[in-house]
Structure 1
């Protein structure tokens, strides 16, 4: 394994942040064995954190920001003490065609607000908006509120469709009775279809497709629910019947044919968009299925599984669908191991490459054959990534609450 600086439990800042990326680039270019004995770059500027923060705030207040980024390069480590008390996750990010950025301040399971960043102006999208999602063709937006999901053509456009939240009873075998979801589901992912008429909802309460007349449950499957409820009745007869997902995830293919979804205790599943039937069951190479993303041309789906801060990502050609089945922990020569090492939290695709963001604060890019292209250290676990339609600009959020814009 290549030597990768350990960034799981500490992060770096400013000039040293720049130095770390240079250090890693040297290691990859010259070989890590040639850097043996050299220490990783470190930063000792934590005592300056309050003064720097005050200076940046004053500069923004008076509009004197010319050269600010050069004088105070992006910093994270010195603010860790402040972040422990005040840090808030940015769980999703959307880069609009006009350059505005939409994100949420606050983890999905806690109180938060959705904001729009327009250059240096920041406004709240609306106190009733809980979350936002964008369709693969980037035409439709789904705005989540307590009363349901509003679909708009354009973030600022009028509502075209309103969809109710699932009850939580969808797909439950008839021999079991469960309580309805109390209030609004916790939203992990919200993705409208390109038609603007349906929405993929990923939540700890389940993975659903929301439509005009009903919601359809994808996960847990009916058989998974039956098996789990039978176990609960046997071993915990006094407990109410429930099934909460962990590491739940889902993604729509850009060509509108497939849904990839999974959760901690499942396989990787591919569903047909029209029938909502499972058409592919792919075994995970690491312990827990954790993330899925389709290539820009929908020719491949990248499926990531993890164990602690590590993971493994396999690329599955969609031409093998329907009917593909592979075994857990076994490589299949029809599929390609794209990346080994990263626990993937977010990803996008452009052209013939995937760009992933991982738990250790790195962005990594590789092509559809798994050939490494580049990487860049951000710091803190990556929350989400979006990319401009021309593929030339990335926006990246982190669990520590930083939003970075990269060319």
Structure 2
């Protein structure tokens, strides 16, 4: 029987496993992976009760930052020891924004979950009443705030309302004269992106992708041409699937380019008048994610197959008229990352940071050079980065929200190859009456 205190056992197990994994990765990268044995974590399930008691104690009213930091050092954060609890308590966090004052805005639950929007700051977690979904423009100024009544656009978080937009009816962009049914309920946003001028909002949902303006909604996907083709084939309107899977989008920082896609189509690039600019075949089976770089002169295009994927990089200058097929070897669409099924991503100067299906944050250059990786655990569900590129926030399907100081110092318990240090982690777990800071 181990006579060490549970806290010491936890600390030693977590740090030893992280160091073993980091050594394993370093060896594999340096000399190849043949004959390397993957590290195994020490048994820690018997420590979970003591960990939970210590976590709850560190989150009682009156506990100051110094005491919480002492808890964090005594019980270093980790993912692997919590695996026995995740089936019951873990949940995805579908949206996450880092506000300019350092606080966080998060939607607990994935878009299809009932969910709750909260504001997170150093004092704790506060529910945001009256907002079910939110988004921010790529220039960081305008916010879209949605509930059952419609979508409001505000100038800044908590700022004045500049626009109010109605939900689509569901009949937009469908051929007239056919018995298509309107939406019973407003579509559930996967993402909401206000344009940099605050006058339009891109609504992406499993029910369709729409551009919302004060004049009404315009359907971007599925396209009318596809619906007309199916009608021409004699398919009954009731049997035409207007839903989308793996729907994704990006708006350029100047608002001049819109990129949309879903698993059954190529990546579609439109200009601000909704005229086609490019159609780009994916580098893997199913188009999944798109992102502009920080400078706005390159577009990242990810497609997935099971838990893996491939990511292409395309210069914006090469987009006009670009028309490539699946798995094209066109030199204008080079592969810049191989392996990641990307669920979320951000960009800073010269670097992309993406979150994959295996719980890793992966950073690479615009030319595809691998920079670093950082392990959080479970599928990464949301990411955001500060305007200065120094603070990254990440969320996962384990119910974690992690605040990471980039280019700082990697703690001994962190699995990863970069010098980045997490400064705070929150657990938003099902069945708990409140979130816990770790």
Query: Is TM (by shorter chain) over 0.5?
Result: yes
- Report how far residue 25 of structure 1 moved: 4.2
- Report how far residue 144 of structure 1 moved: 0.9
Aligned to 1:249: 248
Aligned to 2:376: 378
Contact 1:17 1:75 in 2 (8 A): no
Distance 1:122 1:224, change over 3 A: same
4+ residue segments displaced more than 3 Å: 228-231, 237-242
Pair 1:136 & 2:138 matched: yes
Q: Within 5 Å, which residues of 2 pair with 1:344-359?
A: 344-359=342-357
Aligned to 1:15: 15
Partner deviation per Cα, 1:254-285 (whole Å, 9 max, x = no partner): 12211111000000111102x11221001112
Contact 1:178 1:241 in 2 (8 A): no
Contact 1:19 1:41 in 2 (8 A): no
Long gaps (5+) in structure 1: 1-12
SS in 1 for 2:173: coil
Which one of 326, 329, 332 corresponds to residue 327 of structure 2? 329
Partner deviation per Cα, 1:182-222 (whole Å, 9 max, x = no partner): 21211111111111111111101111111111111111111
SS in 1 for 2:88: helix
Aligned to 1:70: 73
- Report how far residue 367 of structure 1 moved: 1.1
Aligned to 2:295: 297
Distance 1:195 1:329, change over 3 A: same
Contact 1:16 1:41 in 2 (8 A): no
Task: Identify the range of structure 1 (390-399 vs 71-80) with the bigger mean alpha-carbon deviation.
Answer: 71-80
Aligned to 1:220: 222
Contact 2:21 2:39 in 1 (8 A): no
Aligned to 1:8: none
Partner deviation per Cα, 1:27-67 (whole Å, 9 max, x = no partner): 35422347x24332414112212321221111121413132
Contact 2:303 2:341 in 1 (8 A): yes
- Report how far residue 227 of structure 1 moved: 2.6
Pair 1:124 & 2:123 matched: no
**Mapped partners of 1:16, 1:180: distance in 2:** 57
SS in 2 for 1:92: strand
**Mapped partners of 1:239, 1:139: distance in 2:** 41
Distance 1:282 1:88, change over 3 A: same
CA RMSD in angstroms, aligned pairs only = 1.8
SS in 1 for 2:225: helix
Contact 2:303 2:310 in 1 (8 A): yes
Aligned to 1:396: 394
- Report how far residue 238 of structure 1 moved: 8.7
**Mapped partners of 1:224, 1:212: distance in 2:** 27
Long gaps (5+) in structure 2: 1-12, 406-438
- Report how far residue 225 of structure 1 moved: 2.0
Contact 1:228 1:243 in 2 (8 A): no
Aligned length: 389
Aligned to 1:10: none
- Report how far residue 173 of structure 1 moved: 1.5
Distance 1:337 1:115, change over 3 A: same
- Report how far residue 226 of structure 1 moved: 1.9
Pair 1:319 & 2:317 matched: yes
Aligned to 2:270: 271
SS in 1 for 2:353: strand
Contact 1:191 1:200 in 2 (8 A): yes
Aligned to 1:343: 341
**Mapped partners of 2:354, 2:28: distance in 1:** 18
**Mapped partners of 1:346, 1:158: distance in 2:** 29
Contact 1:255 1:297 in 2 (8 A): no
Aligned to 1:26: 26
